[in-house]
Structure 1
Amino acid sequence: MTAPAPHVRASGAGPAVICLHANASSSAQWRSLMDLLSADHRVLAPDLYGAGRSPDWPSDRRIALRDEVDFLAPVFDESGESFVLVGHSYGAAVALVAALAMPERVRALAIYEPTLFAVVDALQPRPNGSEGIHAAVAASVAALDGGDLHEAARHFIDYWMGDGSFAAMPEPRRQAVAESMRNVRRWAHALTTEPTPLEAFAALDMPVLYMLGASSPASVHAVANVLIPRLPKVEVVEFAGLGHMAPVTHPDQINAEIVRFIADVAP
């Protein structure tokens, strides 16, 4: 039986950069970054399970971040002996687990607000700063169980982007996001049950750019507060006035920082 393979956007030639997208998104979110990097790099942006044009995971309830890493094996193979990983949100959490799985191949990490909530909950019982995302997921799941994909999406998107954000989206985008809510249980499962112990991240001895939005929800700052001190070669950049979806809503600012970082540490 042939293993499932991700759909991949690819451009350019040179040292490899792999870009991993957020939940309720796809590889399309990295198009402008690909344009910036592809003159000097081979840039690969896969769709994760159930996103874009990639196949679905065969369960709506159970998936692990390592399953996403295994799914991306063809992308890693195409990237050669070493590569830079770029990730946003869920994609940043996948990037961290991938770097732990093959530290000798990952030259650098550029991550924007990894949603690795398991490390927060493992360190301290709630209340610990993660309450907001747990409540948003519970509300989304309840709406999903009631057959209302749009209401599920409203709870999820408005948590990350502010009240009214889902309603303000153009209709085609709103419909696509609503359909993606079928995956909300498994996203939550992967991010809240990841078994990697917090101290394991101290082994990531490559340069890490850890980006944050100053206006992002408390849950991602709670993750940052416990992860950043464990990363031995971390550079932290916080963007005033920006939120969790800044790589999508303000790509010029975020992409400029990623391009600068790659040029500095992994040209």
Structure 2
Amino acid sequence: MLDPQPFVREAGAGPAIVCIHSNASTSSQWRGLMDLLAQRYHVLAPDSYGSGKTAEWPSDRVIRLQDEIDLLEPVFARIGESFVLVGHSYGAAIALLAALRYPRRVRALVLYEPTLFAVVDTRQSPPNGVDGIRNVVLAAGAALDTGDQDLAARHFIDFWMGSGSWEATPAQRKPSITGSVANVRRWAHALFTEPTPVEAFATLDVPVLYMIGEDSPESAHAVARVLLPVLSRVEVIRFPGLGHMAPVTHPEVVNAEIVRFLGEV
């Protein structure tokens, strides 16, 4: 297999912080946060597989979250002995698992609604709290099978951001999003089949900021209900009126809490 290298946005100097973006997004979602942190920290924001300027997953094998961590190895290799991981959605799921892989190097975690749906399925067989996203993946996949990428993107974006969000998306942004949503089954497979037991996260002995949008779909809240009781050093922030994509739609609110937390760890 080829040894792909992620595209990485980079700014500042100081203690290292690695920011991992959500699905249907790119490292550019962290530009505002990077501007805030660059005077005190060395901030790196990679593009995940098939996002932004990073190549597609280069194998016929179905991707796992561990493969996403492998992609970040070159980033981790050059940033010193310790670092903070910041993640949103799919990126937050990657961050959680990376913290288990590098327990002596990750010194804090900043998570906005990790979408590690497997922990819900292992606690309660379907039907359960993640059926909403499960059904959306099925609908988006069916649309892709008919060649309708626009409809697939509508299913996905409207689920996470609210009905009508796809219609309101600026036309110039739609092509990159529809291209990314073509990977929806790949993302879902990684998130629903991750074998790490939820009890493993109880071993994380680092400060964790876990942020939740009160208006997010039940699928995100269901994951939080399983993860939060096992995280031993967790601070929970709930944002009234904000949803799952708040790091993108309301970055000034979310970033303020991230900056505050980082100043305390």
Q: Which amino acid aligns with 2:255?
A: N
Contact map agreement 1:16 1:41 (CA 8 A) in 2 = yes
Shift of 1:175: 1.6
| Counterparts of 1:120 and 1:59, CA distance in 2 | 28
| Counterparts of 1:79 and 1:30, CA distance in 2 | 18
Contact map agreement 1:61 1:185 (CA 8 A) in 2 = no
| Counterparts of 2:131 and 2:164, CA distance in 1 | 20
| Counterparts of 1:58 and 1:138, CA distance in 2 | 24
| Deviations, residues 228-256 of structure 1 (Å, cap 9, x unaligned) | 00001000000000000000000000000
Shift of 1:139: 0.3
Unmatched segments (≥5 aa) in structure 1: none
Unmatched segments (≥5 aa) in structure 2: none
User: Cα–Cα, structure 1 residues 24 and 144, in superposed 2: closer, same or farther, change >3 Å?
Assistant: same
Shift of 1:110: 0.3
Structural mapping, 1:14-163, within 5 Å: 14-58=14-58, 62-163=62-163
Contact map agreement 1:137 1:184 (CA 8 A) in 2 = yes
Q: Which amino acid aligns with 2:124?
A: Q
| Counterparts of 1:261 and 1:187, CA distance in 2 | 29
Structural mapping, 1:1-20, within 5 Å: 3-20=3-20
Contact map agreement 1:9 1:45 (CA 8 A) in 2 = yes
The 3-state SS of whatever aligns with 2:183 is: helix
Shift of 1:257: 0.3
Q: Which runs of 4+ in 1 moved over 4 A?
A: none
The 3-state SS of whatever aligns with 1:52 is: coil
| Counterparts of 1:215 and 1:2, CA distance in 2 | 41
Q: Which amino acid aligns with 1:174?
A: K
Contact map agreement 1:60 1:185 (CA 8 A) in 2 = no
| Deviations, residues 62-121 of structure 1 (Å, cap 9, x unaligned) | 110000001100110121100000000000000001000001000100000000000000
Q: Which amino acid aligns with 1:81?
A: E
| Counterparts of 1:232 and 1:60, CA distance in 2 | 38
Shift of 1:49: 0.6
Shift of 1:58: 2.8
Contact map agreement 2:213 2:243 (CA 8 A) in 1 = yes
> What is the percentage of aligned positions where both structures have the same residue?
65
| Deviations, residues 43-74 of structure 1 (Å, cap 9, x unaligned) | 00000011000011035871100000011001
| Counterparts of 1:123 and 1:208, CA distance in 2 | 22
Q: What TM-score do the two structures reach when normalised by structure 1?
A: 0.97
User: Cα–Cα, structure 1 residues 193 and 73, in superposed 2: closer, same or farther, change >3 Å?
Assistant: same
Q: Which amino acid aligns with 1:18?
A: V
Q: Which amino acid aligns with 2:34?
A: M
| Counterparts of 1:164 and 1:60, CA distance in 2 | 35
| Counterparts of 2:171 and 2:40, CA distance in 1 | 36
| Counterparts of 1:2 and 1:118, CA distance in 2 | 29
| Deviations, residues 178-237 of structure 1 (Å, cap 9, x unaligned) | 111221111000000001001000011100000000000001100000000000100000
The 3-state SS of whatever aligns with 2:182 is: helix
Contact map agreement 2:2 2:58 (CA 8 A) in 1 = no
Q: Which residue in the other structure is 2:221 paired with?
A: 221
Shift of 1:2: 5.6
Alignment coverage as a number of residue pairs: 265
Contact map agreement 1:60 1:183 (CA 8 A) in 2 = no
User: Cα–Cα, structure 1 residues 2 and 147, in superposed 2: closer, same or farther, change >3 Å?
Assistant: closer
